[in-house]
Structure 1
Amino acid sequence: MFNIGDYVFNQKTGNLGKVIGYGHQIVDNAYMSTVKVLVDYAISSRKRGIVEEDLFAVWISWEEAQKVRSK
């Protein structure tokens, strides 16, 4: 689980941002926890300030993303 203020990386979109909150989505009739991220860098649009919400499993910590990149 991420803390508010942590920087995270979206493995699907490549977006980088800061955790600003949490939420829920219904997936297959079950509530799934989500993370709300204020995007600092969006690969596809290069826009900042977009709030993106997605399942926790899609995001990894920025530190972890850096380790994976360096291999």
Structure 2
Amino acid sequence: MKQLDAVGMVCPGLFMVIKMFIQTLDMGEKAHIVTTAPEAEDRLNRLKEAYKLEVVYHKVKAQHHFLVTKGIEVAE
């Protein structure tokens, strides 16, 4: 599983780094993204439809953890 450690990064750079990271994933591939930016959840939600992402969010203290799977049909 690929991992992106974006701890300490802030937007707008964080959004671009996450977007470029997701573009490197193959369909069906899972990845773990860690950040300290609270706006990361909103940024990932914006990318969900475009990349057909399934996103599982979990917060541990100041860190935001996202388990992302690319290429999944998301139910509305």
Q: TM-score, normalised by structure 1?
A: 0.25
Higher relative contact order (CA 8 A, sep 6+): 2
Higher Cα radius of gyration = 1
Higher helix share: 2
Q: TM-score, normalised by structure 2?
A: 0.24
Higher strand share: 1
